[in-house]
Amino acid sequence: MRRVFKAEEYLVKAEKAAVVTLIFAMVSLSFLQVLLRLIFHSGVVWLDPLLRHMVLWAGLTGAALAARYSHHFALETFVKLTPKQMQRPLEVCADLFTAAASALLFYASYKFVRDEFAAGSVAFYINHLAVKGGWAEIIIPASFALIGLHTLIGVFRPPDHEEGPF
């Protein structure tokens, strides 16, 4: 199990790096766009769709990380009211359901992305370069897979490993 935790740690590092890169790119590119509009009354046409997809990627990668650090919105108040020895089994129940729901959502988004590739749809253009819909949207199945994975590993993770990234 230790190797699994170690491997997950690398995965989490990669996810964090992706989130940080995306945020920096979003801040600088969107600020550039504002400056272009205010000063030169123009803008780069393909920047807007690119930024919108960056928002999707950053948000869903953040969602994967949120699964690792148990940050997803949930009604935790009622579980906290139960006796101490009941809390862990209840948590495991919720985790297993989360993993199952993530698997369902992964399968749904896998089918969706597969169809997008088959249809050859284009998400947006960067000048003449067409960005394939399938590639732009592949983060959706990826994020559900990561959420499921982090949640399943979380079932075995001892509580002292969960102090969060800060």
Partner 1 sequence: MAFLVLPLLLLLAFLGSPVFTLIGGGAIFLFAAEGIDSSAVIVEMLRLASLPALIAIPLFTFSGYMLAESKAPQRMLALAEALFGTLPGGLAIVALFTTALFTAFTGASGVTIIALGGLLYPMLSKQGYPEKFTLGLLTTTGSLGLLFPPSLPIILYGIVAKIDIDRLFRAGLLPGALLLVALSVYAYFTARKAGVKNIPFSMKELKKSVRDIAWELPLPFLIIGGIYQGLFTASEAASVMAFYVIVTEVFIYKDLDLIRDIPRVAVKSMLLVGAIFMVLGTALGFTNYLIDAQIPDRIFGWLHTYVSSKVVFLVLLNAFLLVINMIEIFSAIIIVVPIIVPVAAQYGIDPIHLGVIFLLNLEIGYMLPPLGLNLFLASSRFHRKLPTLYRAIGPFLLILLAMLALVTYLPELSLLGAKP
- Report the alpha-carbon distance of residue 112 to residue 121 in Å, rounded: 12
Choices 2-10, 71-79, 152-160 (CB under 8 A): range interacting with partner 1 = 71-79
Measured CA to CA in angstroms, residue 110 lies from 122, 132, 134, 145, 151 at distances of 17, 15, 10, 10, 19
2 vs 73 by CB, closer to partner 1: 73
Helix axis angle, 47-68 to 2-40, nearest 10°: 150
Tokens of 85: 């020895």
Q: Give the shortest CB-126-to-partner 1 separation in angstroms.
A: 15
10 vs 78 by CB, closer to partner 1: 78
20 vs 45 by CB, closer to partner 1: 20
CA 75 from centre of chain: 21
Which residue from 4, 7, 44, 93 is in contact with partner 1, where contact means CB under 8 A? 93
CA 160 from centre of chain: 24
Single-letter amino acid code for the residue at 121: S
Q: Give the shortest CB-120-to-partner 1 separation in angstroms.
A: 17
Contacting residues for 74 by C-beta, under 8 A, at least 6 apart: 94
75 vs 129 by CB, closer to partner 1: 75
Q: Give the shortest CB-49-to-partner 1 separation in angstroms.
A: 8
Residues contributing to the site for partner 1 (CB under 8 A): 16, 19-20, 23-24, 26-28, 30-31, 33-34, 37-38, 48, 51-53, 55-56, 58-66, 69, 71-79, 90-91, 93-94, 97-98, 100-102, 104-105, 107-109, 111-112, 115, 123, 136-137, 140, 147, 165-166
